[in-house]
């Protein structure tokens, strides 16, 4: 059996801390399942700017497009925040997503009743809530042109362009419908069709794709009221598909409902099995280097990597079960109101995986 090839981009701030934790857990799961992988570290973000002057060096791009999967921590931080800088760490991340062609960013959100104390929601509004966001990742405001600055009549202007073509919308909505089929068979398409032309096209295409998927319901929701309904009716959602910027914002909100930004994983997928996996949080400069980061979002991202890019379904399930059991037994980092550091939380997950395996259900 050949070894899976994973490129690891620790990045900045807490990025290296959480990717190390995730690789440790993935290593334990792989070993138990008789699987193996090899890793190659590359630079992305601020650390890459410092070393090479580029946020995504060519060597990083080449390694990522040749790998089976890429595991990323986070990029960015105050050191590179000068608004007039030639490049920013975040530009490296956007360039990588584009270079890998990962147009769909899956962000699953399961609300653990055991974390009701960390969530702003009441326990009865949490229990059973289980949704997955499908965020369009390589279009919209992030990538549209023209984009830039100009001075007209002595007045400085800055502009971004929100543009989607029908194919970009169709492929991501199609993926959302396929995801909904084995779930609760409900797709919520989120837009701002009362104002934005791009959203009106989005809605038309969503209806067209929906017509191909009998048995799966499609509802449209405006992004502002969707933000509200996440708070009041979290259990009503199943698969939520939306454009790049709306998805970025709504998923941080959903993470807070789950209990912490540190909990949520993501998988960015394109046409083939190769993917880019990263927790949804950032580099958390306020806690970087202190060993306090919650590693769960990164650990669950490694589980998604195992399932989607390597086909290791048992190993992925074992990691997810380990996280569930550790949380149910009370393991909590500080963001969840507990006292554990990154290493202790990681060990709690590994211990829980061992117990589950001992009970006959593990990897």
Ligand X SMILES: NC(=O)c1ccc[n+]([C@@H]2O[C@H](COP(=O)([O-])OP(=O)(O)OC[C@H]3O[C@@H](n4cnc5c(N)ncnc54)[C@H](O)[C@@H]3O)[C@@H](O)[C@H]2O)c1
Ligand Y SMILES: CC(C)[C@H](C(=O)O)[C@@H](O)C(=O)O
What is the DSSP pairing of strand 4-11 with strand 130-136?
unpaired
Q: How far apart are the first and last CA of the chain?
A: 18
Q: Is 224 a catalytic residue?
A: yes
Q: Which does 286 bind (CB under 5 to 8 A by kind): ligand Y, ligand X, Mg ion, none?
A: ligand X
CB 93 → ligand Y: shortest distance, Å? 5
Chain length of the chain: 363
The one catalytic residue among 238, 248, 277, 335: 248
**DSSP 8-state symbol, 3:** P
Q: Is 252 a catalytic residue?
A: yes
Are residues 186 and 216 in contact, defined by beta-carbon separation less than 8 angstroms? yes
Closest-approach residue to ligand Y (CB): 90
Residue 331 falls in which region: left (phi positive, over 0), alpha (psi -120 to 50) or beta: beta
Interactions with ligand Y, residue window 69-108 (CB under 6 A):
76, 90, 93-94
Q: Is 22 exposed, middle or buried (0-12, 13-18, 19+ CB in 10 A)?
A: buried
The one catalytic residue among 192, 238, 277, 335: 192
CB 363 → ligand Y: shortest distance, Å? 29
- Give yes or no for residue 262 binding ligand X (CB under 6 A): yes
| Residue 284 marked in a binding site | yes
| Residue 124 marked in a binding site | no
Q: Is 164 a catalytic residue?
A: no
Q: Which does 335 bind (CB under 5 to 8 A by kind): ligand Y, Mg ion, ligand X, none?
A: ligand X
**Quick one: which of 42, 54, 248, 335 contacts ligand Y (CB under 6 A)?**
248
Nearer to ligand X by Cβ, of 15 and 322: the residue is 15
**Applying CB under 6 A, which part among 30-38, 149-157, 181-189, 283-291 lies near ligand X?**
283-291
Greatest alpha-carbon span in the chain: 73
**Applying CB under 6 A, which part among 122-130, 208-216, 237-245, 293-301 lies near ligand X?**
293-301
CB 131 → ligand X: shortest distance, Å? 20
The one catalytic residue among 160, 252, 314, 324: 252
- Give yes or no for residue 335 binding ligand X (CB under 6 A): yes
Q: What letters, b where the CB count within 10 A reaches 16 and e where it falls short, cover 45-65?
A: bbbbbeeeebbbbeebbebbe
Strands (E), 34-143: 37-41, 69-74, 104-110, 130-136
**Quick one: which of 6, 28, 91, 93 contacts ligand X (CB under 6 A)?**
93
275 CB-near residues (< 8 Å, 6+ apart): 69, 70, 100, 102, 267, 268, 269, 304, 305, 308, 309
How many residues bind ligand Y (CB under 6 A)? The answer is 7
Rounded to an integer, what distance in angstroms lies between the CA atom of residue 41 and that of residue 275?
Answer: 16
CB 302 → ligand Y: shortest distance, Å? 17
Q: Is 192 a catalytic residue?
A: yes
Rounded to an integer, what distance in angstroms lies between the CA atom of residue 144 and that of residue 162?
Answer: 6
Nearer to ligand Y by Cβ, of 108 and 282: the residue is 282
Write the DSSP assignment of 271-293 as a string of letters: SSS-EEE--SS---TTTTTTT--
Nearer to Mg ion by Cβ, of 191 and 248: the residue is 248
Q: Per the annotation, where are the binding residues for substrate?
A: 97, 107, 135, 224
Binding residues vs ligand Y (CB under 6 A)? 76, 90, 93-94, 248, 280, 282
Binding residues vs Mg ion (CB under 5 A)? 248
- Residues tagged active-site: 142, 192, 224, 248, 252
């Amino acid at each position: 059996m050949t070894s899976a090839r994973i490129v690891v981009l620790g990045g900045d701030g807490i990025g290296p801390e959480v990717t190390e934790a995730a690789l440790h857990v993935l290593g334990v799961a792989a070993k138990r399942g008789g699987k193996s992988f090899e890793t190659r570290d590359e630079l992305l973000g601020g650390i890459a700017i410092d070393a090479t002057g580029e946020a995504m060096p060519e060597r990083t791009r080449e390694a990522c497009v040749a790998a089976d999967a890429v595991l990323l921590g986070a990029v960015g931080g105050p050191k590179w925040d000068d608004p007039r800088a030639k490049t920013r760490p975040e530009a490296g991340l956007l360039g990588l997503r584009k270079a890998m062609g990962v147009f769909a960013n899956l962000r699953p959100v399961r609300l653990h009743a055991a974390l009701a104390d960390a969530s702003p929601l009441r326990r009865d509004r949490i229990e059973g809530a289980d949704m997955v966001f499908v965020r369009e990742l390589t279009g919209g405001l992030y990538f549209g042109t023209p984009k830039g600055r100009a001075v007209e009549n002595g007045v400085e202007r800055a502009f971004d362009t929100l543009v989607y073509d029908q194919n970009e919308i169709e492929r991501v909505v199609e993926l959302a419908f396929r995801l909904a089929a084995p779930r609760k068979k409900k797709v919520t398409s989120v837009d701002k069709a009362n104002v934005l032309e791009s959203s009106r096209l989005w809605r038309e295409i969503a209806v067209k794709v929906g017509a191909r998927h009998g048995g799966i319901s499609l509802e449209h929701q405006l992004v502002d009221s969707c933000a509200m309904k996440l708070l009041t009716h979290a259990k009503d959602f199943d698969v939520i598909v939306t454009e790049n910027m709306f998805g970025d914002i709504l998923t941080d909100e959903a993470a807070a409902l789950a209990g912490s930004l540190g909990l949520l994983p993501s998988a960015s997928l394109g046409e083939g099995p190769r993917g880019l996996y990263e927790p949804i949080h950032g580099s958390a400069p306020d806690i970087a280097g202190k060993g306090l980061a919650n590693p769960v979002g990164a650990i669950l991202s490694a589980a998604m990597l195992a399932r989607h890019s390597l086909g290791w379904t048992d190993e992925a399930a074992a990691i997810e079960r380990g996280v569930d059991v550790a949380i149910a037994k009370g393991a909590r980092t500080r963001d969840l109101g507990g006292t554990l550091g990154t290493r202790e939380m990681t060990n709690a997950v590994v211990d829980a995986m061992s117990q589950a395996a001992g009970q006959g259900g593990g990897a």
